[in-house]
Amino acid sequence: MSFLHNYIYYIGAFGLIFIGLFIILVKHNLIKVIIGISILETGVNLFLIAVGYISKGTAPIFSKPGINANQMVDPVPQALVLTAIVIGVAVLAMALSLAIRLYKHYGTLDLRKIKEQRW
């Protein structure tokens, strides 16, 4: 039980990273690859937030008087992840617009049939 208590968030984050990398490496469809990038990003964010957690802590907001600053979780990973999520949506939209252009030019999204993208 203590193993589960210590490592359950890490297991979830590593599972998401593993599945995201697997989708990126194996799938041929371009939009599927972009879905994999999105899942990978969620896993990395979950890992960063889990690193900053403190047992029996509170959120880093002084909402009531008398909250102890020593019991708050680490605010630095939260600020980092907040910016990472917003950059992630911009990069995803950019990638999808490139996918739309490729589909209009080649008529397919299959990476095996697009000559310049084949691997």
Partner 1 sequence: MIIVVSLLIILMLISAIAALIFKDLISAVIAACMVSLIASILFYFLHAPDVAMAEASIGAALVTVIFIIAIRRTKRHEE
Partner 2 sequence: MRKIFSVILLIIICWGIILSLYKIPFGIPKTKVGEYYLNKGKEETGAANIVTSVVLNYRGFDTLGEVTVLFIAAIGLGAVLATLKKKGKRKVEQASLILYTGCRFLFPLILLFGAYVFIHGHLTPGGGFQGGAIIASAFVLVYLGCRGKRINEVSSKTTESLGGLIFIVIGLIGLAIGGHYFLSNFLPKGELNTLFSAGIIPIIYIAIGFKVGSELAGVIDNLFEES
Q: Does 21 bind partner 1 (CB under 8 A)?
A: no
CA distances from 73 to 14, 28, 60, 79, 103 (A): 22, 41, 6, 12, 46
Conformation bin of residue 78: beta by default, left when phi > 0, alpha when psi is -120 to 50: alpha
Q: With CB cut-offs between 5 and 8 Å by kind, which of partner 1, partner 2, none does residue 116 bind? A: none
Q: Does 92 bind partner 1 (CB under 8 A)?
A: yes
CA distances from 56 to 9, 29, 31, 102 (A): 16, 44, 41, 50
Residues at the site binding partner 2, with contacts judged by CB under 8 A: 5-7, 9-10, 14, 17-18, 21-22, 25-26, 50-55, 59-63, 69-70, 72, 74-76, 78-79, 82-83, 85-87, 89-91, 93-94, 96-98, 100-101, 104
Q: Could you list the residues that contact partner 1 (CB under 8 A)?
A: 1, 4-5, 8-9, 11-12, 15-16, 19-20, 22-23, 27-29, 31-32, 34-35, 38-39, 42, 45-46, 49-50, 52-53, 57-61, 73, 78, 81-82, 85-86, 88-89, 92-93, 96-97, 99-100, 103, 108-110
